[in-house]
Amino acid sequence: MRISIFYLLLILIVLGSCESVSNSKESPLYLDPEVTIDDLHNGYRNGDFSVRDVVDFYLRRIDSIDQNGVNLNAVITINPRVREQAQSLDKMEFSGPLYGIPILLKDNIDTGDSMPNTAGSIVMKDAYPNADAPLVQQLKEAGAIILGKTNLSEWANFHSNVSSSGWSGLGGQTKNPYRLNHNPCGSSAGSGVAVAANLCVVAIGTETNGSIVCPSNNNGIVGIKPTVGLISRTGIIPISDHHDTAGPMARTVRDAVLTLSSMTGLDEADKATQQDERSIEEDYTQFLRTDGISGKRIGFYLKPLAEDSSELTLIMNQAIQELKEAGAEIIEIEEILHPRTEYLSFTVMQYEFKDGVNQYLRGLAEKSPVANLGEIIDQTFKDSVEMQFDHQLLKRSNERGDLSSKEYRSALDSIVLTSRKEGIDRVMDQFNLDAIVAPTGGPAWKTDHENGDAYDIYSSSPAAISGYPNITVPMGFIDELPVGMSIFGRPWTEGKLIEIAYDFEQRTNHRKSPKYLD
């Protein structure tokens, strides 16, 4: 197995600089590839380095590893005010659970930091939002510093019949840091890669169906897809009002949970956060328990592995054994969703994508480069770079009617019923379950722009279509490529899922830094 020359040089640089982690004036700051929020906070408190030192480290790292090194194409824009903001934080008293933590945002999330919000589309390269999205405001109030924006599957991978996850017309193809010719999955591809390669401490992704958990799986990190309504979606370029949510992506469960706790504010503009049954915790770190698996009744969802005889089945079975040894009772489950649920979910997404994008563009007002989805299609189809893929999904969505359509209302009612009452709720009631587990996906496939993505195994749909929470954690490797285990369940049970995820992580420690293999 060949290791890239760049990676060998990086090892030598790391070994030569490990003894100079302080704020030495002779050499720049070096941070371990697995550095955590707690590590940075200890350094700030001890005076080992400043926020400006940390920001400079990440800017150097992005420049060397992402642009001039192995060309991961993970970061699409750097915050032009980030050094200024770091210096301002240095003048303040240490405060907030995310003080001085560099965070990257998926490039479909608004920020007022003089960065466009593009969804990876060349058409949107000059679309500058008026203000921070509420979730970004909350991160800043917690002390976080926005480092920049990450590349993504264009339009959150809702654009073409055949597409390559991690590709956008504006940002190019994002690469998997474990094997550079393999796919990072998406649509939060850049966010997953940036976290795995330590181009930031935490990144924010968004998910409609699999777009947080799949890139977390392929890049060996933790991803939390919360209940729809736990986090505001205002200021996020949408696909589906029913499915969409943002969520944190990090190298550890603790870092993801610290970030999640800072993003749960109410939003008058997002009706999902106004639900009567909405139930949140002010601090989810209370669920970081090393006995979190003991006594849980956990369903093992068998369908994703039904026709699999690969090493993934062996790794998943080992994870099940580890859950049993930690005190869980395991109940095998054959089926959760009605066979037509995913098809009808796709119909709902087309209607809601058209409506949501048009509403988002109207919110940009005079700063919007286009007026509606129709104009996006017109300009996209004239661009030779964009037309590496067919963008037929954009057209099909634009041909749909409005949200009063009988077809839309019928499909929405059907998926709500079959994914919730007749889906996850039914299974969990029947077997009195605390959670359900399944392989998040198989290992990353080779990137192929001609034939598109090679999804063979995935388990995201039950939680995604129902709008229920899902957490993925690393559970092993296949030929140097990571794979993860998903833990999902009832709405607003993030705490219970965190207990299982954290305990499993602490017992197994499957996370490994990438090697940037050719």
Catalytic residues: 106, 187, 211
**Cβ within 8 Å of residue 421, ≥6 positions away:** none
Q: Name the pairing type of β-strands 297-301 and 329-333.
A: parallel
Quick one: how far is CA 56 from the chain centroid?
Answer: 24
Q: Name the pairing type of β-strands 167-168 and 172-173.
A: antiparallel
385: nearest Cα among 232, 169, 112, 110? 169
Contact 380, 394 (CB under 8 A): yes
Q: Name the pairing type of β-strands 145-150 and 75-78.
A: antiparallel
Contact 242, 467 (CB under 8 A): yes
Q: How many other C-beta atoms can be found within 10 angstroms of the C-beta atom of residue 477?
A: 16
Q: How many other C-beta atoms can be found within 10 angstroms of the C-beta atom of residue 47?
A: 9
The CA-based dihedral angle spanning residues 77, 80, 82, 88, taken in that order and rounded to the nearest 10 degrees: -160
Determine whether 338 is exposed, middle or buried from the number of CB atoms within 10 Å of its CB (0-12, 13-18, 19+).
middle
Q: Omega into 187 within 30° of 0, i.e. cis?
A: yes
198: nearest Cα among 22, 31, 68, 53? 31
CA distance 442 to 50: 40
Coil/strand/helix, residue 167: strand
Half-sphere exposure for 129 (CA within 13 Å, toward CB): 22
Coil/strand/helix, residue 337: coil
Q: Identify the bridge partners of residue 477 per DSSP, sorted by sequence position.
A: 482
Residue tagged 């949107």 (tokens): 124
Determine whether 105 is exposed, middle or buried from the number of CB atoms within 10 Å of its CB (0-12, 13-18, 19+).
buried
**Cβ within 8 Å of residue 246, ≥6 positions away:** 106, 109, 135, 204, 205, 206, 207, 231, 232, 233, 236, 263
